[in-house]
A and B are shown apart, each in its own frame.
Chain A
């Protein structure tokens, strides 16, 4: 310090001071290391774990939907897909061009993926895979696999996709799944707390999550969905996944399997029997109320909705003249025509307006007021009682019955059979149709009921609208002679709050009169369906009733020109043919209702379909013990390897 001192000694002193200062600093650094690593080591170890372990949502595997014998109707299948990871690609456009040179990509795929990549980079999520193509064919998958090594950032992988192995057969019953839309989220989060709704939204953001959009898939969403789990992913600082740590406690809980009461083979036979015609068929187990078949044809392929249907494809379905999206069996409303005559007759017997033996003379027309009402049979049926009226489907007889019974009584009886009520059974799109009565008309139309309408009501025309499902229920109630009846479609699955027993009292004696009439239809000379009665199973017979649903009223001018049937008018204006039946006649087991659109004739077109369906059901014993009664507990969902039909 002092310049008077010996410079050597001063230098040495300062040197020691510098060394001491250095030593102090070193001690401070080591102390800091001690603080970070020993004293606070635990805290930083935890922070490090949080740093590199990310919990990633693992979607639950959706439960399968099986038919009554355990055959899968909705399951999973592995589908090849191509994804790209933006961060691993230098030139995405060139890479997509190379993919497009190997396999055929949808028109807008390249622009869509480039846009997705750009957005992912903006969000700094360039490590998240983007789907380029789904549902690769085997050839494309193989070709892409061969070339994948030459395409950095391109992944060719197998993913599980919801699959409907029966394709169109169950489109209107099962519905389909789709990515959850904003509307879906609003619907699904109804009644949830904000945090639950947020968790739900997060779950559905996962690319593999789907939600039931239609049908049982939608109705049984929570049953089928299961609970999501988590995957422990080791990530680097950029969020890229390095590896996955297995942890069983976090595994997702798979959704439960669901059994429907339908026999998928019977369903198939029924569809084939339509041979391309539009229409619907419903088969019920008369004793248990199980829906054994629920056909609406044409239908759409639900598989095409799973990964999102293109708007062009959807427009094609929507604009198709034959309405494949229309669920005819439970949502199609038709005038029941003559199939309704049992209801009218029942109403007459219940009110005492008629007895079974009261006779009415039919000479082909019926005068009421200042109008003439025609019977379908030009020459008339002669004098008929109730049995003959049903057997020959005599319009004049039922004009008289309806007139005597009154519209209100017919409407009341119709409701006891289940008409006017939407039978949901776990599906979507079910409609109730319409059972008109004077009160309804005054309320809805602000008009008085005309007596002429009662006559139309009597032969199942006019405002009256019913679904094929309702017709099947009516037939089953007659076949069961009025016993309480609980229709069901879901054999093993969530309870349906809309399900209820159809137990409005119907007199067994009256029902036997109906059955006798229906037996006459198929099995006695003069019956409208005389030739279809024998099922070809060694004397097993069916009893039924034909009907024609008027699409357009035949005008007097046309009648004068001799046009009574619409075969020579445009197809979409032709009448629908209906037939309802149960079998076997001595101990009814199955009830069936069929409508063949624009076929003009119930007995000609619909009766043979019903006959073949019932014959198949009886031959194969469709209503036999279902699979779920053996294994009420759910089996673990497995993957159906078969490709969809």
Chain B
């Protein structure tokens, strides 16, 4: 996984000297850099995506309207794979230069979406650019991560750990979050706030302030629920709360409680080994709505059982663990924050999605990275991993602070 497997302890000087040769790779040329890409990690990413495509085929092959989707997803994955490799080979300094323009561009797209976006599924999330419809809120996740990394890199190098610095970071998080929330897209808003919050935490915000923040957030739950959430969002929360309260709804009821109930039945019916590929009756016969997108895990769980679903979660754990380790190893603040932010972004995707599918969290409409059908989510996940690999490649770089901009 890493050439640096022997690392131990908090003092990192020793590790750095042992990997000193990596300092030379700037001069070693792009071909040598390509060879030194973490291929084990990339292989795992590819494997996860291919599993996703296989499951997409399984979930949709009985439905004539969806039969071809797996091919489309395979093409998308091919394009995203190239993007991953290109992004992985970008020097970190390029990433740093990209950070602010990307952030500004994302804000612009979010505003454009608000003004002239395409309404899909009851929310204004899509922006038609030429032949492609994009969801700027997806880009916002990566853009906020990059902007925060860029910001903390400048601030921690110059100002140091100061409460005001963290307030600046909060502003970077909340502006796009507010725009995404207005679309409205509660899931992505939460994902941006949560992964941004992780970076603020890693940035060293005082524990007391964090505690105070949690208290304030807790106190504001009721007013937010009553005055901020749209009716459909409230309904989701209500559904979730009633499910948690044990008021299990029957299969006959419609709407989201039905969706969750059917998802639970599909997962539970999978048992230890599952019913076998293409044998999931719940999944094959459209019992679980949105099963090829947000609820793809139900297909895996039904057809491959507890072992299959756990294997997927462990696969993600390996990817994320390695990503977090990359952040841990990184010498530069930018590398640390960028890798950690990318990790957190993907991690929250997974947690929200799996939590939702397993009935632990309200239905927020989040895809499962790499596995779910959908181009934008695939692109986001692959870009995040591209950034992580770039951080890995340059983990020993010292990047001087060039100021905030």
B287/A9 in contact, CB under 8 A: no
**B residues in contact with A7, CB < 8 Å:** 156, 160-161, 204
A29/B285 in contact, CB under 8 A: no
B324/A40 in contact, CB under 8 A: no
Point out the residue from A3, A29, A50 that lies within 8 Å of B206, measured CB to CB. Answer: A3
B360/A41 in contact, CB under 8 A: no
Q: Is the C-beta of A160 less than 8 angstroms from some C-beta in chain B?
A: no
B301/A45 in contact, CB under 8 A: no
A41-B286 contact, Cβ under 8 Å, with A11-B202, A22-B324, A51-B251: no
B270/A37 in contact, CB under 8 A: yes
**B residues in contact with A19, CB < 8 Å:** 321, 324
Quick one: which of A1-26 are within 8 Å of B by CB? 1-3, 7-15, 18-19, 22-23, 25-26
B201/A14 in contact, CB under 8 A: yes
Quick one: which of A218-251 are within 8 Å of B by CB? 234-238, 242
Point out the residue from A15, A37, A50 that lies within 8 Å of B268, measured CB to CB. Answer: A37
Q: Is the C-beta of B313 less than 8 angstroms from some C-beta in chain A?
A: yes
B271/A41 in contact, CB under 8 A: yes
Q: Is the C-beta of B392 less than 8 angstroms from some C-beta in chain A?
A: no
**A residues in contact with B156, CB < 8 Å:** 7
**A residues in contact with B328, CB < 8 Å:** 12, 15
Compute how far the CA of A294 lies from the CA of B374 in the bound complex, rounded to whole angstroms.
76
A29/B358 in contact, CB under 8 A: yes
Minimum C-beta distance from A166 to chain B (A): 48
Quick one: which of A38-79 are within 8 Å of B by CB? 38, 40-41, 43-45, 47-48, 50-52
Which of B133-141, B258-266, B383-391 forms contacts with chain A?
B258-266
**A residues in contact with B310, CB < 8 Å:** 30, 33
A236/B269 in contact, CB under 8 A: no
B285/A33 in contact, CB under 8 A: no
Q: Is the C-beta of A32 less than 8 angstroms from some C-beta in chain B?
A: yes
B258 to A, closest residue via Cβ: A237
Digit string of B220-260 for contact with A (CB within 8 Å is 1, else 0)? 00000000000000000000000000000001000000000
A237-B268 contact, Cβ under 8 Å, with A15-B202, A25-B351, A51-B251: no
Point out the residue from B207, B265, B301, B360 that lies within 8 Å of A47, measured CB to CB. Answer: B265
Point out the residue from B262, B267, B272, B336 that lies within 8 Å of A11, measured CB to CB. Answer: B336
B317 to A, closest residue via Cβ: A26
**B residues in contact with A28, CB < 8 Å:** 360
Compute how far the CA of A22 lies from the CA of B281 in the bound complex, rounded to whole angstroms.
33
B286/A237 in contact, CB under 8 A: yes
Q: Is the C-beta of B282 less than 8 angstroms from some C-beta in chain A?
A: yes
A22/B306 in contact, CB under 8 A: no
We find that the number of chain B residues with CB closer than 8 angstroms to chain A is 52
Q: Is the C-beta of B92 less than 8 angstroms from some C-beta in chain A?
A: no
**B residues in contact with A15, CB < 8 Å:** 202, 324, 327-328, 336, 340
**A residues in contact with B305, CB < 8 Å:** 37
Q: Is the C-beta of A440 less than 8 angstroms from some C-beta in chain B?
A: no
Compute how far the CA of A313 lies from the CA of B287 in the bound complex, rounded to whole angstroms.
47
Quick one: which of B259-305 are within 8 Å of A by CB? 262, 264-272, 281-282, 285-288, 301, 305
Q: Is the C-beta of A36 less than 8 angstroms from some C-beta in chain B?
A: yes
A37/B285 in contact, CB under 8 A: no
Task: Classify the secondary structure of B's interface with A.
Answer: helix
Point out the residue from B268, B321, B354 that lies within 8 Å of A29, measured CB to CB. Answer: B354
Q: Is the C-beta of A368 less than 8 angstroms from some C-beta in chain B?
A: no
B360 to A, closest residue via Cβ: A32
Minimum C-beta distance from A126 to chain B (A): 15
Point out the residue from B160, B198, B265, B360 that lies within 8 Å of A51, measured CB to CB. Answer: B265
A50 to B, closest residue via Cβ: B251
A1-B207 contact, Cβ under 8 Å, with A36-B358, A37-B268, A37-B306: yes
Digit string of B348-392 for contact with A (CB within 8 Å is 1, else 0)? 000100110011100000000000000000000000000000000
Q: Is the C-beta of B347 less than 8 angstroms from some C-beta in chain A?
A: yes
A238-B286 contact, Cβ under 8 Å, with A14-B204, A32-B360: yes
A44/B10 in contact, CB under 8 A: no
A44-B202 contact, Cβ under 8 Å, with A36-B358, A236-B285: no
Minimum C-beta distance from B148 to chain A (A): 14
**A residues in contact with B359, CB < 8 Å:** 32
Point out the residue from A9, A32, A41, A47 that lies within 8 Å of B251, measured CB to CB. Answer: A47
Q: Is the C-beta of B309 less than 8 angstroms from some C-beta in chain A?
A: yes
**B residues in contact with A44, CB < 8 Å:** 264-269
Minimum C-beta distance from A82 to chain B (A): 24
B204/A52 in contact, CB under 8 A: no
Compute how far the CA of A19 lies from the CA of B326 in the bound complex, rounded to whole angstroms.
12
A11-B204 contact, Cβ under 8 Å, with A22-B347, A26-B317, A40-B268: yes
Compute how far the CA of A242 lies from the CA of B265 in the bound complex, rounded to whole angstroms.
19
**A residues in contact with B264, CB < 8 Å:** 36, 44
Minimum C-beta distance from A24 to chain B (A): 11
Point out the residue from A14, A22, A235 that lies within 8 Å of B285, measured CB to CB. Answer: A235
Point out the residue from B12, B306, B313 that lies within 8 Å of A26, measured CB to CB. Answer: B313
Q: Is the C-beta of B320 less than 8 angstroms from some C-beta in chain A?
A: yes
A38-B306 contact, Cβ under 8 Å, with A9-B10, A19-B321, A47-B251: yes
A-B contact pairs, 21 of them (CB 8 A): A3-B160, A3-B162, A7-B204, A11-B204, A13-B10, A15-B336, A18-B340, A22-B324, A29-B358, A30-B310, A33-B310, A37-B268, A41-B271, A44-B269, A47-B265, A48-B269, A50-B251, A51-B262, A51-B265, A51-B282, A52-B285
List residues of A whose CB falls within 8 A of some B CB.
1-3, 7-15, 18-19, 22-23, 25-26, 28-30, 32-34, 36-38, 40-41, 43-45, 47-48, 50-52, 234-238, 242
List residues of B whose CB falls within 8 A of some A CB.
10, 12, 156, 160-162, 198, 201-202, 204, 206-207, 251, 262, 264-272, 281-282, 285-288, 301, 305-306, 309-310, 313, 316-317, 320-321, 324, 327-328, 336, 340, 344, 347, 351, 354-355, 358-360
Name the 4 nearest CB pairs between A and B, nearest first: A44-B268, A236-B285, A48-B269, A37-B306
